[in-house]
A = this chain, B = another copy of it.
């Protein structure tokens, strides 16, 4: 933590309060406790892992692409892990549908499906969200033309265990269906079958992902108050917000983590933005955004706090060639790994932003792999839940989303 008096009595007080909230979160005595099933999800999912990996193996045998139909928490976690880690050996390519209503993106999706075999994973807890429903109409028509009425054999549904239109559909047609635990909300569901099935299909080591999350679950459940990094991070962001740092910038070490940033933005924005309060979540991607909003961080309005995500191990390849086409003055880094320069850029940025008056914290983990990513998912879920609770909000509802849904529904009804 930098630019923050971590040993001040004021900060100790916030840490103490957040730590108490964590104890209540685990004891299920906080607002929205009926939706805290994610706290023990790593343990619970370990028991269902075989079912997920067996389904994934079959999907990989049938096709080399899978269309994942979902929006918000039903898709962004899987996309985050997939873009960060890349497709594994024998993994299928994941394509995303139902995450917008854009005609342009829809046409591009169908163009990319042309001539390829694919399976479909439809993900919606309620089964009634508009975007995935419309995508399923379009995809169903396309798949029927390709595969005939048997197209539904290519579908796996991930939804509520007993309720909703998707569950009924699966039941009526004998479609394979995975459960989203009723106690786990969309944005806390990446470690459930919502995220695990597509990621297993993509050849990502979901056992390692879960084991990383499980390690953090143990930290959360066992550590007293201040020794829990999620408590410290939550306390830091709350303390900084109280000092007027109302925008948080999550600074990512590379573009491969952009979708991870989008996952975090959804988690934080939807959990905390309530009752006229909350930290506004924003992203900065190294080093490209240093040539963009970097200027603002250095010199703009002093309302920002910054959280750096860093990996300890330096990526060894590629090495920077000694031969320079252009006189670039960079012979010092010849034969060194590009990742070392990236790490140096992160350190330099951190120091420059701190000197420029942007306080914040750095979250370091070992390396960018499935295990560490699982730990990060869990870590941020705990920290964001605690921040919302510190604001006095229920972290697990989203009443504001209803306002827009109602407004859209009224307009759609008037088409009749």
Contacts and interface: CB of A to CB of B under 8 A. Distances in A.
Contact of A105 (B254, B278, B336, B411): B254
A108 interface: yes
Interface residues of A, number: 124
Given A136-B326, A270-B293, A290-B401, A342 B103 contact: yes
A404 to B, nearest CB: 4
A304 interface: yes
A253 B269 CA distance: 20
A7 interface: no
A147 B282 CA distance: 43
A328 B133 contact: yes
A353 B406 CA distance: 12
Contact of A128 (B278, B297, B328): B328
Interface stretch (A11-19, A39-47, A312-320): A312-320
A301 interface: yes
Interface string A90-107: 000000000111111111
A103 B337 contact: yes
A397 B318 CA distance: 34
A71 interface: yes
Given A318-B107, A399-B299, A400-B294, A282 B282 contact: yes
A321 B290 contact: no
Nearest to A170: B326
Given A72-B292, A295-B401, A300 B278 contact: yes
Contact of A299 (B73, B275, B348): B275
A368 interface: yes
Interface in A240-283: 246-247, 253-256, 262, 265-266, 269-270, 272-278, 280-282
Contact of A265 (B246, B293, B318): B293
B280 A247 contact: yes
Nearest to A127: B326
A399 B412 CA distance: 50
Given A103-B338, A315-B104, A411-B348, A140 B282 contact: no
B317 A352 contact: no
Interface stretch (A24-32, A161-169, A220-228): A161-169
Contacts of A141: 321, 323
A351 B407 contact: yes
Contact of A403 (B110, B127, B356): B356
A67 to B, nearest CB: 13
B273 A400 contact: no
A298 to B, nearest CB: 3
Contact of A398 (B269, B295, B341, B412): B295
B106 A345 contact: no
A58 interface: no
5 interchain residue pairs of minimum CB distance: A273-B296, A72-B291, A298-B400, A273-B300, A102-B254
Given A127-B326, A130-B341, 16 more contacts: A101-B345, A103-B254, A104-B368, A105-B255, A107-B318, A129-B291, A136-B325, A136-B328, A247-B280, A262-B292, A270-B296, A291-B401, A294-B401, A330-B412, A333-B415, A348-B407
